Amino acid sequence: MPDAPPLPHDAATLQQMVRELLATIAELRSTIAKQDEHIHYLVRMTFGRRSERLEGPTLFDDTAGPEPAPAPEPGPQPDAVVEVKRPGHGRRPRSRDLPREEVVVDLTEAEKSCPCCGEGRVRIGADVSKRMDYRPACLFIREIVRPTYVCRNCERNGRDIQAVQAPLPPEPIPRGTVAAGLLAHVLVSKYCDHLPLYRLEGVLSRLGWDVSRSTLCDQMMACAGVLAPLYERMCRRLKNSEALHADDTSIPLLQPRRTAHAWVYVGDQRNPYTVFDLTDGRQQEFPLKFLAGYRGFIHADGYAGYNPLYAAGAVHVGCWAHTRRYFFEAKESDPARAHDALARIRTLYAVESDAKDQNLTGADLAIYRREHAGPVLRSFADWLAEEVPKALPKSKIGEAIIYAANQWPTLVRYIEDGRLTIDNAPAEQAIRPLAVGRRNWLHIAGNGGLASAAVLLSIAASAKRHQVNPWTYVKDLLTQLPARTPQADLTDLLPDLWIASHATLANTAAH
C-alpha cells in the first residue's frame, strides 16, 4: 500500500479536507444504502415470499386507549354448556345438480336363503354409499338429417316436382366441421382455464380428433368474429358507467417479437362488464381512443397515459393498494417510516371494512368515510409534507413518499363519493388471470390476433364475473348469434341479462 501524502500544516486547509471527506463518506453511505435495499428487493423477489401481508400489530392498530385490565376468571359452572365454534373443515357438500347413477350390489339367490330354515329372506332396507366418480369427456358426431319431400302428383303430371327441405341451421363457422359445443370447449379451455392450443391439440387427439393447433387458432379467430357484435355492445354499455376501473399488463407479441399491452376496463354495477383492449404498444392514444367521450370517474394508478382522458373531462381516482405497494417495498431498507405509512393505510382499510359490515352505500358511505377516514388522511398529509424534503428521491422509501405526495389529490377523492372505492382492486383482479395465461400460451402470434384475443378474453372475464358456467354461456352465444341479423338487438345475450333468464344454469364453474 503506498504511503499517504503528507497533510498540509494550514488548519483552514485541513478543515476543508475534513469537510470534503465527510461529504464523500455521506455520498458513499447513500450509494451503499441504495444498493443494499435494491439487493434485498431482488433477493426477496427471486427467493422470498412475494406476499405483501404484514405480520403482527402495527401503529394505529390500538385506537381504543390503554388496554383494559383482564377480567377475573369466572368460577366453575357445571350446568352451563359452552359451545365452541370450530373453523370450517371436512367434506364440502356435493352439488344437487350432478346426475346420479345407481349401482346395486346384491346377494346371490343362494345367499338370500336362510341358513336355518332354507326360506328366502325378505328385503327390509338398504345402505347407500355415495362416491364422486368421473367419466372422461368424449367427442361425438352430430349428424343433421334434413329429409327432402316432393309432390308425386306433380311428378306424374309432368309439372315441377316442388321438392322442399328444411334449411340448414346457422353455424358459427359456415360449412365448418365443428359445432358450437366443441368450439365453446376450446375457447373456455384456453381463455378461462389457460390451456395453450398445443396442449389442447394433444387432449383432443386422445379423444379421437386429430387436429393441428393452427386449425384451432383459425377456429378461435372465427369465433371471435361471431362474438364481436356482443363485445362491441359490452364496450358501449361500459362507457355508461359512473365509475370504472382501468389497468394494463404486457403480453409478448411475435412477427416481429415485441411487447403488446392488454388494457382491462371494469364497469360499475349498472354496467357489469369486464372488457379488454389489446394494443401494439402502451401509448396514451390507446386508452384515449377506447374511452373517447367518457366523463365519469376512472380508478387507476399514476400512469401518465390516462392524462389525456383527465384533460378531456374524466376524473382520476387514485389507488391506495398501489400506494401501499411502494411502502411495502421500502420496509426492508427503511422500516420505521415504511411501517408508519403502512399502519396509516391499514387504518384506512379498516374503515372500509367497518363500512362494508354496516352495508353502507351512497351518501351514507361518503359521510362515514369523511368522519372516520378524514382525520387519518389529514394526519397522513401532514406526515408526507414533513417527510418529502428528507426523502432520498431514488431510494425505495423516497419513491414511495414522493408517489403518495404527487398522487394525494386523487388518493383522497374516494371519501367524497360513495360510488368510488378505495383502490383499483377490481381491475387488478380482472387482469391477474392474464398473467397465468401468458405463462402458458406464451405469446400472441401477430397483430391480427390482438382484436380476436380482446373479444375472447372479454367474454370469458364477463362470464366469470357473473359466476355463470362459461361453456354453457359461450355455446349458447355461438348458437344464437349466427342466427341473428346484423341489426338485431343483442341485449338479452349480455351476461347479466342472460343469466337472469337462465338461472338454473348458474353455478360456480366460472371460479
Would you put residue 160 in left (φ > 0), alpha (ψ -120 to 50) or beta? Answer: beta
What digits encode the pLDDT tens for the residues 457-492? 999 999 999 999 999 999 999 999 999 998 899 999
What digits encode the pLDDT tens for the residues 71-114? 444 444 444 444 545 555 566 676 777 888 899 999 898 888 98
What residue ranges do the domains of the chain occupy? 319-423
Start-to-end CA distance of the chain, whole Å, equals 68
Pairing of strands 148-149, 164-165: antiparallel
For residue 387, what pLDDT is reported? 93
What stretches in the chain show pLDDT beneath 50?
A: 1-2, 59, 62-82, 84, 507-511
Alpha-carbon distance values, 160 to 9, 147, 157, 164 (Å): 126, 19, 9, 12
For residue 436, what pLDDT is reported? 80
d(CA 64, CA 471): 52
For residue 224, what pLDDT is reported? 96
For residue 73, what pLDDT is reported? 47
| Ordered strands of the 274-279 beta sheet | 274-279, 258-266, 243-253, 297-299, 315-317
User: Which cell goes with 40?
Assistant: 434485498
For residue 46, what pLDDT is reported? 78
For residue 80, what pLDDT is reported? 45
d(CA 339, CA 61): 12
